Amino acid sequence: MTIAIATITTDLWDTLYNHLQTGTYAISTNNIFSAYNDKLIADIGLPIVVIPPPDVSIKSFNLNASVSVVDVSYLIEVYNKTAASAKSLADEVVNKIRTGYSVFALVNLKRTRDDWFSTIGYDSWQTAPNHRIHKVIMEVKFRYTT
Q: How do residues 33-68 score in pLDDT, each as one tens digit?
A: 999 887 888 888 889 999 999 999 987 666 666 667
Average pLDDT, the chain: 84
Residues whose CB is less than 8 angstroms from the CB of residue 113 and which lie 6 or more positions away in sequence, other chains included: none
| Domain-wise residue ranges, the chain | 5-145
Q: What is the CATH number of domain 5-145?
A: 3.30.2000
Q: Rounded to two decimals, what is the model's pTM?
A: 0.85
* Residue 130: band (very low, low, confident or very high) from pLDDT cuts 50, 70, 90: low
CA-to-CA distance for 56 and 49, rounded, in angstroms? 20
